[in-house]
Amino acid sequence: MHVQPPLLISCADPRITPEKFFGLEFAEAAIIRNAGGRTHPALSSLPALESLGNTGTIIVIHHTDCGMSHYSESEFQDRSKMKHPEIDLHGEAFGVIVDPEKTVKKDVEYLKSFESWGKANVEIVGLVLDTFSGVVKRVI
């Protein structure tokens, strides 16, 4: 029986390397990385990876001291408009993280709200990495 590799959704912060803290070898997991490791922006990649057979368990990983926790949503919007006035985000939320345990739960519940994941029996879990200690904790 073929076991599908897990699909990891993780922050793009260079301190957060799921390959290292999970001890993954080449091609053992598909990894989507974005600011904060948020699930909403990852949705554009999930169906493509699923069609390629890359969705065993979906693991959402948030972490402490995330850059997405350093500013409010409005501060991110203002900073973006100031630095990149030509980019129209159409009010798209940046997905700030105040409490990584709460946001990883919210993101896992968001993915679980899609009926298709349940029908496919895809397990979806949420982890939080303590950036300073290296400890990974399962939250949901």
Check which CATH number belongs to the domain holding 115 and give it.
Answer: 3.40.1050.10
Residue 110 lies in a domain: yes
Residue 2 lies in a domain: no
Residue 1 lies in a domain: no
Give the C-alpha separation, 2 to 113, whole Å.
Answer: 27
pLDDT tens digit sequence for 121-140: 889 999 999 999 999 999 99
Answer yes or no: is 130 a known binding residue.
no
Could you tell me the residue range of the domain that residue 55 belongs to? 7-138
Answer yes or no: is 13 a known binding residue.
yes
| Secondary structure element (H or E) that encloses residue 21, with its range | helix 18-21
Give the C-alpha separation, 102 to 62, whole Å.
Answer: 10
Answer yes or no: is 63 a known binding residue.
yes
Q: What is the pTM of this model?
A: 0.89
Residue 118 lies in a domain: yes
Tell me whether residue 66 is exposed, middle or buried, using C-beta atoms within 10 angstroms of its C-beta: 0 to 12, 13 to 18, 19 or more: buried
Answer yes or no: is 62 a known binding residue.
no
**Domain count along the chain:** 1
Residues of the chain with pLDDT under 70: 1-3, 53-55, 89-92
Residue 133 lies in a domain: yes
